[in-house]
Amino acid sequence: MRSLNIASTGMMAQQTNVEVISNNIANLSTTGYKRRRAEFQDLIYQNLRRTGTQSAETGTVLPSGAQIGLGVRTAAIYRISEQGNLQQTENRFDLAIRGNGFFQVTLPSGETSYTRDGTFGLSPEGQIVTAEGYVVQPGVTIPPNAVDVTINASGEVLVKLDGQVALQNVGQIQLAIFANEGGLDAVGGNMFLATPASGQPQQAAPGQPGYGQMMQGFVETSNVNVVSEITSLITAQRAYEMNSKVITASDEMLRTLTSMR
Phi, psi of 187 (to 5 degrees): -115, 10
Could you check whether the bond before residue 209 is cis, i.e. omega within 30 degrees of 0?
no
Q: pLDDT 10s digit of each residue in the chain, 261 long?
A: 788 888 999 999 999 999 999 999 999 999 999 999 999 998 887 777 777 677 666 667 767 767 788 889 999 999 998 899 999 998 889 999 999 999 999 999 999 999 999 999 999 999 999 999 999 999 899 988 888 899 999 999 999 888 787 888 999 999 999 999 989 999 988 999 999 999 999 999 999 999 999 999 999 999 999 999 999 999 999 999 999 999 899 888 888 888 876
What is the pLDDT, as a whole number, of residue 28? 92
The two beta strands, 191-193 and 45-49, are unpaired
- Nearest partner of 107 among 138, 142, 136, 128, judged by Cα: 136
Q: What is the pLDDT of residue 212?
A: 93
Q: How many CB atoms lie within 10 A of CB 259?
A: 7
Q: Which residues contact 261 (CB under 8 A, 6 or more apart)?
A: none
d(CA 30, CA 176): 21
73 closest CA partner among 23, 2, 10:
10
Angle between helices 226-258 and 2-26 (to 10 degrees): 160
pLDDT at 30: 92
Read out DSSP for the chain?
-HHHHHHHHHHHHHHHHHHHHHHHHHTTT-TT---EEEEEEE--EEEEE-TT-B-STT--B-SS-EEEE--EEEEEEEE--PPPPEEE---TTBEEEESS-EEEEE-TTS-EEEES--B-EE-TTSBEE-TT-PEETTT-B--TTEEEEEE-TT-EEEEEETT--S-EEEEE--EEE-S-GGG-EEEETTEEE--TTT---EEE-TTSTT--EEEETEEEPP---HHHHHHHHHHHHHHHHHHHHHHHHHHHHHHHHHT--
Question: Cβ(94)–Cβ(220) under 8 Å?
Answer: no
Q: Do the beta carbons of residue 10 and residue 72 sit within 8 Å?
A: yes
Q: What is the pLDDT of residue 67?
A: 72
The pTM score is 0.82
Task: Report the DSSP pairing between strands 202-204 and 191-193.
Answer: unpaired
Backbone angles phi, psi at 163, to 5 degrees: 90, 0
